[in-house]
Structure 1
Amino acid sequence: MTGTAPGTALADRDPAPAVPPPGPAQDGSRTRPRMPPMAAYVLRRVASSVLIVFGVTLVTFLLSSVVPADPATANLGQRALDDPEIVARYHAEQGLDQPLPMRYLTYLGHMVTGDLGTSQQTQRPVLDDLADKLPATVELVIMATLLALVFGVLLGVLSARRRGGRLDRTARTLSLTGVSLPIFWIGMVAAVVFVKNLGILPGSGRLAPALDPPAQITGFYTVDALLDGDLDAFASATAHLVLPASVLALSVVGMVLRFTRGAVLESLSSDFVKAAHAKGLRERGVLWGYAVRSSSGHLITATTLSFGLLLASTVYIEQQFSWNGIGQYAFRSSTNLDLPAVMGVSLLIALVFVVVNLIADLLYAAFDPRIRLS
């Protein structure tokens, strides 16, 4: 057998196919660049949020259309019962004589252009009414959310740190009590105690009657009074904000406490916290720097839920404390069967909920990259 020179077998083989350089393919087609995971995640969330808003408009429109009472009777009074022609004219002016699908499509067309109709109780565009009353509600809800987070997180962390102790039992009892009690009852008791009996807090309104509202910059009386340099208006606006914001916060502080307590207890039993203790780190540093920090996702959930619940509860509180915001506007609109205003309030609340949840989703993705890749 004749020997083979080294490398002859390799030389006789077909050469390996050359790897094409990156760039356009041989057939002229281009490889579509892949969207970054975070951008794809944001796009999916925005698309789902738009669908949710349109779904809310459809449900609200259908519910307002099947109300047994006639809006003409609610807005025209006795004249609607005495003269059918007036009722027919009212239906024609409001588009109530059109088929239901046509009315919904007309409403969507106006909504896309920013036209939410005219309020039957104020005779103003609904969008203008919402723009005027939204800052009052947002100021109230933000203050209540901050109070709920401060006290809920603090009590939740202390309760988790002293699990099973007297502070833990007391905090859990108070949280259960705050969640169980109706918010309108809490408001009535707080008004009797702090306004009527003690007289240390004002009872209604956003500002003392003797003071003029500050120049409108943000719509928040406390912020606008500071920007305007009016300390008397700032003190009065803050005093009027304390009681309704505290009542609102009390209704959700128990939920924040339980979320925080459960998350911190889970973190305290994790391996990285045990490793931090083994390194000899101080107890306070481990608690706040490791356990509480790792519970940020649960705190985002608690904040989102709190904001949504507080926004829904403003209907009771604003009516009780004469707070001229979206809640009071929604109450008056529903009692008067002001359908354009009811639809406008429903759309606004849906948008707020969607935006808040979208922000929460983005924060989740920022804290945990696994979410944006799912």
Structure 2
Amino acid sequence: MRGLLKYIGYRLVSSVVMIFLMVTFVFFLLRILPGDPVLALTGGKAPPEVVKQLKEQLGLNLPIYKQYLKFLSDILHGNLGTSIVTGESIKSELLERFPATLELSIVSIILAAGWGIVLGIEGARREGSVFDFVTKLIALSFYAIPIFFVGIMMQYIFGVKLGWFPISGRIDPLNEPDHVITGLYLVDTLLTKNFAGFVDALKHIFLPAFSLSLVLFSVIYRITRSNMILQLKKEYVKAARARGLKERRVIYYHAFKNAFIPIFTLIGLQFAGLLGGAILTENVFSWPGLGSYLIERIGYRDFPAIQGAILFYAVIVVFISIAIDIICALMNPKIKYE
């Protein structure tokens, strides 16, 4: 346990340094790249005196080092700044958008992990069979296809042609929960007994979540299959079979138990990436989450919003990666952290 605590402390310190370097890089990069947020905001048609006044109000007329020091000071005080576009607190905007991304991420990772683990285990059991070849081909195909193309095809087939699912948004405005409790529509509609809203929210989330899960499935499938193949060739599996244990117990209890930690680590990291905003998927399906927020603010050259969103994402990834290490250590005490 002492080694784990020491490792967590090291990770926290190194993560703070990493986040500092990353936000510093983003801060200066945004100001080096061509484009002016004030001109983007005004459409380039405002008189020079208006542009000058706006720059003064936004602090963009200050020397870059003073802007940077103010930026660091705001972060240390828990203030991500104010959006150039809306004039609202960036922290409030991110927290408002985060539940949509969280809900999409949870549903996507559940679907991807379910298919990826089951098919990966079965592929390992039947290594070299037609089933193994077909599942490998499917996984490789979805890994190679761009996620935005998968999303567009899902919209066209199941939304436009068949009309089974909506192709954009989170929920019909008439079915929105009466009270926002968690910000997760699938949860809030059930808590408020709005069953029509629950069904509507489920229909809206299916296509983006299914599209994301297809790409994630391929990664989870491959690591599950490769780890299970290694485990199934070990002596303890042969011994379990020799004792007459049922094949299902040998596979799912003994072998999968030992193969699970790297699979869990991968799932956790994939989930962290989704929480940062599945940018292309959210953009294709007009899903009002962190990804679409970041794309929108990049278009407006909204410096504070872009910096805040990237910082928010970095903190999420660090928190989840450390949580994964702790859970893995609890699941397998043999893991040593030095």
TM-score interval for Structure 1 and Structure 2 normalised by the shorter chain: over 0.9
In 2, the alpha carbon distance for the partners of 1:152 and 1:315 equals: 22
Q: Tell me what 1:28 maps to.
A: none
* Aligned amino acid, residue 132 of structure 1: E
Is 322-331 or 139-148 further displaced after alignment?
Answer: 322-331
Alignment partner of 1:78: what SS? coil
Q: Is the 8 A contact 2:58 2:84 kept in 1?
A: no
Query: Deviation at 1:368?
Result: 4.0
In 2, the alpha carbon distance for the partners of 1:317 and 1:98 equals: 37
> Which residue, 120, 141, 144 being the options, matches 2:105?
141
Query: Deviation at 1:321?
Result: 1.4
Higher RCO (C-alpha under 8 Å, 6+ residues apart):
2
1:228 paired with 2:174, answer: no
Query: Deviation at 1:90?
Result: 2.4
Q: Is the 8 A contact 2:277 2:292 kept in 1?
A: no
* Aligned amino acid, residue 207 of structure 1: I
* Aligned amino acid, residue 66 of structure 1: I
In 1, the alpha carbon distance for the partners of 2:325 and 2:66 equals: 36
Is 267-276 or 125-134 further displaced after alignment?
Answer: 267-276
Query: Deviation at 1:365?
Result: 2.5
In 2, the alpha carbon distance for the partners of 1:235 and 1:119 equals: 35
Query: Deviation at 1:78?
Result: 2.9
Q: Tell me what 1:51 maps to.
A: 17
> Which residue, 87, 100, 108 being the options, matches 2:72?
108
In 2, the alpha carbon distance for the partners of 1:222 and 1:75 equals: 36
Query: Deviation at 1:89?
Result: 2.4
Q: Tell me what 1:8 maps to.
A: none
Matches within 5 A, 1:29-44: 36-44=2-10
In 2, the alpha carbon distance for the partners of 1:172 and 1:164 equals: 10
Query: Deviation at 1:371?
Result: 4.1
CA RMSD of aligned residues (A): 1.7
* Aligned amino acid, residue 138 of structure 1: L
Matches within 5 A, 1:221-260: 221-260=185-224
Between Structure 1 and Structure 2, whose CA radius of gyration is higher?
1
> Which residue, 34, 43, 50 being the options, matches 1:68?
34
The TM-score normalised by the length of structure 1 is: 0.86
Q: Which runs of 5+ in 2 are unaligned?
A: none
Query: Deviation at 1:269?
Result: 1.0
Matches within 5 A, 1:99-248: 99-248=63-212
Q: Is the 8 A contact 1:162 1:168 kept in 2?
A: yes
What's the CA shift string for 1:69-89, capped at 9, x where partnerless? 111211122344x41x33332
In the superposition, relative to structure 1, how do residues 150 and 341 fare at CA in structure 2: closer, same or farther (>3 Å)? same
> Which residue, 348, 354, 363 being the options, matches 2:318?
354
Q: Is the 8 A contact 2:277 2:290 kept in 1?
A: no
What's the CA shift string for 1:114-147, capped at 9, x where partnerless? 2111112222111110111100111001110111
Query: Deviation at 1:100?
Result: 2.6
Alignment partner of 1:69: what SS? coil
In 1, the alpha carbon distance for the partners of 2:172 and 2:54 equals: 40
In 1, the alpha carbon distance for the partners of 2:173 and 2:332 equals: 50
Q: Tell me what 1:276 maps to.
A: 240
Q: Is the 8 A contact 1:41 1:372 kept in 2?
A: no
* Aligned amino acid, residue 38 of structure 1: L
Q: Is the 8 A contact 1:126 1:340 kept in 2?
A: yes
Matches within 5 A, 1:275-314: 275-311=239-275, 314=278
- The number of residues matched between the two structures is 338
Q: Is the 8 A contact 1:194 1:200 kept in 2?
A: yes
Q: Is the 8 A contact 1:248 1:313 kept in 2?
A: no
In the superposition, relative to structure 1, how do residues 229 and 241 fare at CA in structure 2: closer, same or farther (>3 Å)? same
Q: Which runs of 5+ in 1 are unaligned?
A: 1-34
* Aligned amino acid, residue 44 of structure 1: Y
Q: Tell me what 1:320 maps to.
A: 284
Alignment partner of 1:127: what SS? helix
In the superposition, relative to structure 1, how do residues 116 and 373 fare at CA in structure 2: closer, same or farther (>3 Å)? closer
Q: Tell me what 1:9 maps to.
A: none
Query: Deviation at 1:92?
Result: 2.3
Query: Deviation at 1:370?
Result: 5.1
Q: Is the 8 A contact 1:248 1:310 kept in 2?
A: no
Query: Deviation at 1:244?
Result: 0.6
* Aligned amino acid, residue 40 of structure 2: A
In 2, the alpha carbon distance for the partners of 1:234 and 1:126 equals: 29
Query: Deviation at 1:179?
Result: 0.6
Identity of paired residues, percent? 34
Alignment partner of 2:257: what SS? helix
1:88 paired with 2:59, answer: no
Q: Tell me what 1:77 maps to.
A: 43
Query: Deviation at 1:313?
Result: 6.1
Alignment partner of 2:111: what SS? helix
Query: Deviation at 1:104?
Result: 1.7
Q: Is the 8 A contact 1:207 1:213 kept in 2?
A: no
